[in-house]
Structure 1
Amino acid sequence: MGRHSYWSEMETTNILKAARRLSAAALLLAAWPGVAQAADLDGSTLSVLWGVPFAGILLSIALMPLLAPIFWHHHFGKVAAAWGLAFLLPFAVAFGPAVAGANLVHALLAEYIPFVILLTALYTVAGGIYIRGNLHGSPGLNTGLLALGAVLASVMGTTGASMLLIRPLIRANDNRKHVVHVVVFFIFIVSNAGGSLTPLGDPPLFLGFLKGVDFFWTVGHILPETMFLIGTLLALFFALDTWFYRQGAEVLPRDPTPDTGGVRAFGFDGKLNFALLGAVVALVLLSGFWKSPVVFDIMGTPVGLPGIVRDVGLVAVTLASLWLTPRQVHDDNQFGWAPMQEVAKLFAGIFLTIIPVIAMLKAGTDGPFGAVVRAVTRPDGTADPAMYFWATGVLSSFLDNAPTYLVFFNTAGGDPAVLMTTLAPTLAAISAGAVFMGANTYIGNAPNMMVKAIAEDRGVKMPSFFGYMLWSGGILVPLFLVMTFIWFR
């Protein structure tokens, strides 16, 4: 198939098979008597035990890669499916197949499918752009690349920006003795903080966008916090990198990546993907600003025409990128589906098991999680932004920041109109906590682990799990304390 051979017939066949299975499942649910008439869950009547599968899958994500890495690598999808079934089957028995089916369809259509489609599009487009050539990792160049990554993260997502820039950044510094700090600050800035300004930037904000938060709300409400955090981190990095750079024998006598000339000189391969990236941004913006009266009721879940157009368009962008990007670009980028498959499988379990947790949190102080609600609420009954910032942030550090955002979004009431106005400081605290503090550990945000794996594959001896936390605890946590007293009191 020539230059487009990356998009193989086998992959096309697998996608068609998956589509047929999903269609069959949807038809089965549609034929299930009473599904469309299922009522919303009353969280105040649920036992806290319904949250065990959700806690189980999050703890599995946090601990099993450390305690049983080989088992987790081969069976993480089965673990996620097991926790999903541990919730869904007893739930169907207790409340009936109609309620279970309606809530499953809602989780799929309103949250999971749009979420995965956007991530897949950004991941694919970023994987189709290869930065060739050899840069030289001086403090100025490194700081500039981190600043560029911070900007790109809110345009093409933390995953897309991380995958685009981490390889050329490591190549630029492969003649340096000290490289660990470069990758650590890259995770802080590009893989996390930089994605705080738009729903494209980080999965938590896209979930908020799907819930009704305006596209430009975050840039209008946490821009000062973001500029403070990124600006301070860039200044600290420049000072530290300059100190290392001036040490004796810091620069190796021979560069492992020699300079090249001619057609393989510095530049971009797969440039068409920049246009496709623009199409991704346009489709997401379109779905936010286009108000259409056309709404399809699918088993109790309203699905609007703008959302359908966005998701179909993103799938088309993904397929176009795979088809039009030369195979050599994907080979140079070492592009593969394993990271995306892991995200899709794990989040399928997360979005399913979180159903009762959201219902219980929506019940407020009357629900099983009343203590959580009271912990982030002042004595006079108003929300405490500082507590929301740290509660969201601490959980985002050790769990995944996307479901953590969703949990506290609903703890604060779950009404986007109220959260964007009356409770704007609270929503700002939730958004900042989820995005910023996802950098506290390797497992706080998906790109963290991806960047770590790429760096180690290229010979960088990255810190251990707790070694990395020494970096984040010494650098990030003091900055978060300062931010709390300035913005979230």
Structure 2
Amino acid sequence: MSTPSVRSKRQGNSLDPKRLVTRLWSQALAAILTLLPHQAWAATGLDGAAMRWPYALPFAGLLLSIALGPLLFAKFWHHHYGKIAAAWSLLALASLVIFAGGMATLAALVHAVLVEYLGFIVLLFSLYVVAGGVLITGDIKATPATNAGILALGTLGASVVGTTGAAMILIRPLIRANRPRRHNTHVVIFFIILVANVGGALSPLGDPPLFVGFLHGVDFFWTTRALWLQTAIVAGLLLAIFVAVDVWHFRSEPLGDTGPAQPVRIRGLVNLVLIAAIVASLLASAMWKPGVVFDILGTKLDLEDVVRNLALLAIAALSVWLTPDEHRQANGFTWEPIREVAKLFAGIFVAIIPVIAMLNAGHHGAFAWLLSAVTGPDGAPREVAYFWFTGLMSAFLDNAPTYLLFFELAGGDPQVLMHELSGTLASISMGAVYMGALTYIGNAPNFMVSSIASESGVKMPSFFGYFLRAGAVLIPLFLLLTLLPVAPILHWH
């Protein structure tokens, strides 16, 4: 590959990234400026105890649309998924306006956008953009040892560069290496399980639900200290299962080309520096507490959070500016995966507002049965129940909002959850991260990886086909984790 010229960095009209970054900045600034209030309103003042289950229907409808739309009406969904998500969100907001009035609904919306959604999508966007600028070229022979090495590398790196970052860096070279093989679908499935999910369990940078917890006050290194043993056990067993499956398939593969191989090279190394800058931005925002707070319709927005989001957007813009377009084009980089995630998650975080309010009502709300299921007669949390309820709901409701649901259900106090109820928070975290791998919609990178693989010619299973394959591996493993004292977090009450 020839070295690109400086001019090439400023071309690439098909990507048009600078325009997108500018638009994102302007929209974020406009949102903040237009929502500055003359008086404060409580963003969490919705009376969830007075709500009933129909208020959760827009949320359920949106999630069912995400699960079934690509199967039942694929072409329509592909062209109009943003409008469908917006329709469900508007239905949720309309019901809240009727229930609580316009100002209370606006306050809740501002809280959801500025506190829950904005930090989440800005991190995901920056990781996607920066990781997409790293190009790995050369000939990689797809032996079981090589595949296992790539999966292990991605699993280890997922908590450092994020599941999205690790997946976007490694999925394309992994697919290119395995393209000559007749059986390669299982490689992508295990990649989704390990790199796009399990590997991200050890830091807020790793997986979206843990970043949601970080935004709500969970210490940056808490999951590293609490979950390293469980994650090592799960990842180790999954890698062993993968090696056994891959060796079995590899034995039936024809001998590959034995000619001279092109050396493996990594281009776009500046993006590795920018990934380190993303990590530094998160750590700095966790440690820097200037005490400056902006009150926006009752929502408290800390200065460090604003600075962190602006820094992440600036890093993404730097990646676009410094990386030759040829690198992203060779990677098959497009804006559609992150655009789809941004639109769908915007709908999810809005439609979930009444659900959060009902959960906050505890035993007085419509989800009292769920609270009873995860709480013992003595009031102590049932950690096994938290693990399985969080996990199974994460698989079908997406793990970031599901983590938030159970985080709030467990009390929502990060100090209590990190100390007195550390087992409960660990159970919620493990369930959300590990079982997010059960479906394509369980975690944000899953669908991105599946789309890239399908576009590259890998025959990926359908939504339910993937669920059956992933479940056949993961459910027995999680039962083992639950029943055997190999991971001393889950305790029966």
Q: Which of the numbers 346, 359, 365 marks the counterpart of 1:361?
A: 359
- 1:161 is matched with 166
Deviation at 1:144? 0.8
- 2:116 is matched with 111
- 1:251 is matched with 254
- 2:372 is matched with 374
CA distance in 2, matches of 1:10, 1:459: 26
- 1:416 is matched with 414
Q: Secondary structure at the match of 1:296?
A: strand
1:171 to 1:25, Cα distance in 2 relative to 1, 3 A: closer
Deviation track 1:236-260 (CA, whole Å, cap 9, x = no partner) reads 112222233233xx134448xx755
CA distance in 1, matches of 2:16, 2:447: 29
Check whether the contact 1:7–1:323 (CA below 8 A) recurs between aligned residues.
no
- 2:220 is matched with 215
CA distance in 1, matches of 2:81, 2:52: 27
- 1:30 is matched with 36
CA distance in 2, matches of 1:384, 1:111: 27
Deviation track 1:65-84 (CA, whole Å, cap 9, x = no partner) reads 11111111111100111111
What amino acid is the match of 1:251? P
- 2:453 is matched with 455
Deviation at 1:176? 2.3
Q: Secondary structure at the match of 1:383?
A: coil
What amino acid is the match of 1:79? I
Is 1:405 the equivalent of 2:403?
yes
1:468 to 1:96, Cα distance in 2 relative to 1, 3 A: closer
CA distance in 2, matches of 1:188, 1:14: 31
Deviation at 1:432? 0.5
Check whether the contact 2:427–2:490 (CA below 8 A) recurs between aligned residues.
yes
Deviation at 1:337? 0.7
What amino acid is the match of 2:443? N
Deviation at 1:304? 1.4
Deviation at 1:354? 1.3
Q: Secondary structure at the match of 2:301?
A: strand
Check whether the contact 2:56–2:352 (CA below 8 A) recurs between aligned residues.
yes
1:387 to 1:399, Cα distance in 2 relative to 1, 3 A: same
Report 1:68-107 matches (<5 A). 68-107=73-112
- 1:131 is matched with 136
Deviation at 1:219? 1.2
Check whether the contact 1:295–1:305 (CA below 8 A) recurs between aligned residues.
yes
Report 1:208-287 matches (<5 A). 208-247=213-252, 250-254=253-257, 261=262, 265-287=263-285
What amino acid is the match of 1:434? A
Check whether the contact 1:29–1:35 (CA below 8 A) recurs between aligned residues.
no
- 2:195 is matched with 190
Deviation track 1:379-410 (CA, whole Å, cap 9, x = no partner) reads 22211011111111111112211111111111
Check whether the contact 2:390–2:431 (CA below 8 A) recurs between aligned residues.
yes
Deviation at 1:351? 1.0
CA distance in 2, matches of 1:21, 1:106: 17
Deviation at 1:110? 0.9
More off after superposition, 382-391 vs 236-245: 236-245
Check whether the contact 1:197–1:223 (CA below 8 A) recurs between aligned residues.
yes
CA distance in 2, matches of 1:398, 1:22: 30
- 1:469 is matched with 467
Is 1:445 the equivalent of 2:447?
no
Q: Which of the numbers 32, 56, 61 marks the counterpart of 1:56?
A: 61
1:445 to 1:6, Cα distance in 2 relative to 1, 3 A: farther
- Runs of 5+ unmatched residues, structure 1: none
CA distance in 1, matches of 2:141, 2:431: 35
The RMSD of aligned alpha carbons is 2.0
Deviation track 1:85-140 (CA, whole Å, cap 9, x = no partner) reads 11213322432222112111111111111111100110011100011101111111
- 2:149 is matched with 144
1:16 to 1:159, Cα distance in 2 relative to 1, 3 A: closer
CA distance in 2, matches of 1:211, 1:259: 53
1:11 to 1:195, Cα distance in 2 relative to 1, 3 A: closer
Report 1:477-488 matches (<5 A). 477-485=475-483, 486=485, 487-488=489-490
Report 1:292-307 matches (<5 A). 292-307=290-305
Q: What is the aligned residue count?
A: 481
CA distance in 2, matches of 1:434, 1:344: 20
Q: Which runs of 4+ in 1 moved over 6 A?
A: none
Is 1:348 the equivalent of 2:346?
yes
Deviation track 1:34-91 (CA, whole Å, cap 9, x = no partner) reads 5546672232122322212111211111111111111111111001111111121332
Check whether the contact 2:40–2:295 (CA below 8 A) recurs between aligned residues.
no
Deviation at 1:21? 5.0
What is the percent sequence identity of the aligned residues? 52
CA distance in 2, matches of 1:25, 1:452: 33
Q: Which of the numbers 318, 321, 331 marks the counterpart of 1:320?
A: 318
More off after superposition, 296-305 vs 145-154: 296-305
1:310 to 1:30, Cα distance in 2 relative to 1, 3 A: closer
Query: TM-score scaled to structure 2, two decimals?
Result: 0.93
